[in-house]
């Protein structure tokens, strides 16, 4: 009897201890009560537990990305939050405008717009428009080759400004052919596409770098930005000098507005920025362009890259607006933008509102709604896809001079 009594007392005491002094362990063995929010909370659970918690619910992009990182993925553009652009315009919509058949090419004669628009939409320059000309998805073979060429371009460009001069081109040839003899195919291949992972030596991230970069918004914003056809969130940003401000809503309503987001340490962004300038040159009479510099992707205190060091792009993540202005000035000195250049504040107000880190493109229509939203950079950053959307918007808004 006494034994039973003591036993019960002991059991009661252990219960008290368990309940009051030891916090409930948050381990992989304890699944979340509800789907964890994008952010540090995700780190408390296993990928399987997170997936189970989101079963039957829409998984936020940031959770999709975290799952890739947690499982050892390396941000190679496959999966996670890398989705195709959200685009109001499509081949089917373009054909429907002229009452054509989507199975048949659209000829110049049938096309209802100006020659300059036809020319830019005809991506493969065969004198006809087809679905292939407008397809920027990763399943398109030309788009895949384009990624490869960008990677090669960056290997040849010694100062990382996204422009290849004849001297730079020749110097690369000289480095390859040390003995002055003609180079063979496999020498060129091994120099441009080293066997192994897609990253250049010294560029691949560790899992810790990726998790830190994910939580700090360096890999991309944890927010998703406006959806297609939603009103573009208004914002006020300062110019590079900090002396002037621009309010987006003051620009809207007259003609389309193109928003360009980017940062200094993102190599693919730097290499594609001159293409953005080329688009601006062709379209500046038909749309307003606005550049906003956002959070650094590869600062020295984050996912640092050897390929940036090689071209002298070595900066820590700015902690104040003044520091951000300084890095933005270095970026502007290298890229020499003609597009009005602005700087987001250090809390990434605009960068989060548009899910703009590390680089992204938007086309806003004259009614202030999102007509095109590129995929997340760097993989979704496709200036010519943006230009085609802008041209098709011009066709529909009747502003096609």
Q: Please give the residue ranges that form the binding site for Ca ion (CB under 5 A).
A: 122, 124, 126, 128, 133, 157, 159, 161, 163
Q: Compute the least distance from the CB of residue 170 to Ca ion, in Å.
A: 12
Structure tokens at 360: 């992204």
Q: Compute the least distance from the CB of residue 309 to Ca ion, in Å.
A: 16
Of 61 and 161, which has the nearer Cβ to Ca ion?
161
Q: Compute the least distance from the CB of residue 336 to Ca ion, in Å.
A: 12
How many C-beta atoms lie closer than 10 Å to residue 5's C-beta?
9
Of 287 and 334, which has the nearer Cβ to Ca ion?
334
279: enclosing H helix or E strand = helix 267-283
Of 305 and 364, which has the nearer Cβ to Ca ion?
305
Of 111 and 303, which has the nearer Cβ to Ca ion?
111
Q: Compute the least distance from the CB of residue 165 to Ca ion, in Å.
A: 6
The 3-state secondary structure of the chain reads: CHHHHHHHHHHHHHHHHHHHCCCCCCCCCCCCCCCCCCCHHHHHCCHHHHHHHCCCCCCCHHHHHHHHHHCCCCCCCCCCCCCCCEECCCHHHHHHHCCCCCCCCECCCCCCCCHHHHHHHCCCCCCCECHHHHCCCCCCHHHHHHHHHHHHHHHHCCCCCCCCCHHHHHHHHHHHCCCCCCCCHHHHHHHHCCCCCCCCCCCCCCHHHHHHHHHCCCCCCCCCCCCCCCECCCCEEEECCCCCEEEHHHHCCCCCEEEEEECCCCHHHHHHHHHHHHHHHHHCCCCEEEEEECCCCCCCCCCCCHHHHHCCCCCCCCCCHHHHHHHHHHHHHHHCCCCCEEECCCCCHHHHHCCCCCCEEEEECCCCEEEEECCCCCCCCCHHHHHHHHHHHHHHHCCCC
Q: Compute the least distance from the CB of residue 105 to Ca ion, in Å.
A: 7
Q: Compute the least distance from the CB of residue 121 to Ca ion, in Å.
A: 8
Of 284 and 306, which has the nearer Cβ to Ca ion?
306
Of 127 and 231, which has the nearer Cβ to Ca ion?
127
Of 157 and 277, which has the nearer Cβ to Ca ion?
157
Q: Compute the least distance from the CB of residue 240 to Ca ion, in Å.
A: 22
Of 161 and 387, which has the nearer Cβ to Ca ion?
161
Q: Compute the least distance from the CB of residue 164 to Ca ion, in Å.
A: 6
Q: Compute the least distance from the CB of residue 162 to Ca ion, in Å.
A: 7
Helix boundaries (H) for 122-206: 141-156, 166-176, 185-192
Of 120 and 349, which has the nearer Cβ to Ca ion?
120
């Amino acid at each position: 009897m006494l034994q039973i009594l003591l036993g019960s007392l002991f059991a009661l005491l252990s219960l008290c201890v368990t309940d009051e002094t030891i916090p409930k362990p948050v381990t992989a063995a304890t699944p979340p009560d509800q789907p964890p929010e994008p952010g540090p909370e995700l780190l408390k659970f296993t990928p399987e537990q997170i997936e189970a918690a989101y079963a039957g619910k829409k998984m936020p992009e940031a959770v999709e990305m975290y799952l890739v990182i947690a499982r050892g993925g390396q941000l190679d553009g496959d999966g996670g939050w890398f989705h195709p652009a959200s685009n109001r315009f499509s081949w089917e919509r373009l054909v429907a405008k002229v009452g054509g058949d989507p199975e048949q090419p659209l000829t110049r004669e049938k096309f209802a717009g100006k020659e300059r628009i036809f020319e830019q939409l005809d991506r493969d320059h065969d004198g006809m428009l087809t679905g292939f000309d407008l397809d920027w998805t990763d399943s398109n073979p030309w788009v895949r080759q384009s990624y490869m060429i960008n990677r090669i371009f960056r290997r040849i460009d010694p100062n990382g400004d996204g422009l290849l001069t004849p001297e730079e081109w020749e110097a690369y040839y000289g480095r390859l052919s040390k003995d002055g003899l003609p180079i063979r195919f496999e020498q060129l291949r091994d120099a441009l596409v080293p066997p192994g992972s897609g990253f250049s030596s010294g560029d691949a991230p560790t899992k810790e770098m990726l998790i830190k970069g994910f939580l700090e918004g360096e890999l991309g914003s944890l927010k998703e930005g406006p959806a297609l056809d939603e009103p573009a969130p208004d914002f006020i940003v300062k110019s590079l000098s900090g002396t002037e401000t621009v309010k987006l809503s003051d620009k809207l309503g007259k003609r389309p507005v193109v928003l360009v987001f980017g940062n200094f340490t993102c190599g693919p962004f730097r290499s594609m920025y001159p293409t953005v300038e080329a688009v601006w040159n062709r379209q500046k009479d038909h749309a307003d362009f606005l550049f906003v510099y956002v959070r650094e992707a590869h600062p020295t205190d984050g996912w640092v890259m050897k390929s940036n060091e090689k071209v002298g792009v070595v900066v820590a993540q700015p902690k104040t607006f003044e520091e951000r202005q300084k890095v933005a000035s270095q970026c502007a000195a290298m890229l020499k933008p003609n597009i009005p250049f602005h700087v987001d504040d250090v809390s990434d107000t605009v960068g989060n509102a548009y899910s703009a880190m590390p680089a992204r493109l938007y086309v806003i229509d004259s009614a202030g709604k999102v007509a095109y939203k590129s995929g997340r950079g760097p993989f979704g950053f496709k200036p010519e896809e943006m230009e085609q959307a802008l041209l098709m918007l011009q066709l529909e808004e009747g502003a096609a001079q």
